[in-house]
Amino acid sequence: MTGETHDSLLKSCGCAAIRRRVEGYAVNSGESTSRRIEWGPWIVVTVGALLFMLGAGRFVLRHRFGFMDALACGLAVLPAGLLLLVLDYVIHHAKLVSVIPLGFAGMLLFSFPVFDVALGLALMGAIAGPALSEWKNENRLRRLASPHGENKDP
């Protein structure tokens, strides 16, 4: 069936009108919400929250969480952040060698619930810090651009 015959058949049966109505309701994939959401930060925050909950659950199963454990969790955030920096550098510059810091992180996560909590907090903080500062800057710019001189920003 040639293209002309097919088009004339569609016009004669009224299918073209139906096609136009259906195409009018078609969703453009560029405009869909899932295309506009940046999924990377949400995934990192979710993994961080899961690690935090895993560490907290391991502390609950041990039936012990004292001041020294809380201090250790707080102090272990710095080495966890340093591990994230090293892992990021290694992944960007030597992908094959990234197995070593990943194995080290896995060993720490498996062995110490303190490191679970600390790495979860470091991951969430790595995303939350820039996101909060960006939000703060947007609010400041919005107040500065307000009409009628209502800006009260010092």
- 143, part of any domain: yes
The better pLDDT of the pair 65, 32 is held by 65
- 53, part of any domain: yes
- 97, part of any domain: yes
Q: Report the pLDDT value the prediction gives residue 32, as an integer from 0 to 100.
A: 60
User: What distance in Å separates the CA atoms of residue 70 and residue 118, rounded to the nearest whole number?
Assistant: 10
- 104, part of any domain: yes
Range of the domain at 142: 37-147
- 6, part of any domain: no
Q: Retrieve residue 138's tokens.
A: 């947007």
53 touches 116 (CB < 8 A): no
- 31, part of any domain: no
Q: Report the pLDDT value the prediction gives residue 34, as an integer from 0 to 100.
A: 59
- 54, part of any domain: yes
Does residue 35 register a pLDDT over 80? no
- 70, part of any domain: yes
Average predicted confidence (pLDDT) for the chain: 79
Q: Retrieve residue 94's tokens.
A: 């030597």
Give the count of domains, the chain. Answer: 1
Closest CA to 77 of 124, 130, 23: 124
Q: Report the pLDDT value the prediction gives residue 98, as an integer from 0 to 100.
A: 86
- Whether the predicted model's global pTM rises above the 0.75 cut: no
User: What distance in Å separates the CA atoms of residue 89 and residue 108, rounded to the nearest whole number?
Assistant: 19
Q: For a pLDDT cut of 70, what percent of the chain falls above it?
A: 71
126 touches 84 (CB < 8 A): yes
pLDDT tens figures, 71-99: 998 999 999 999 999 998 998 998 888 89
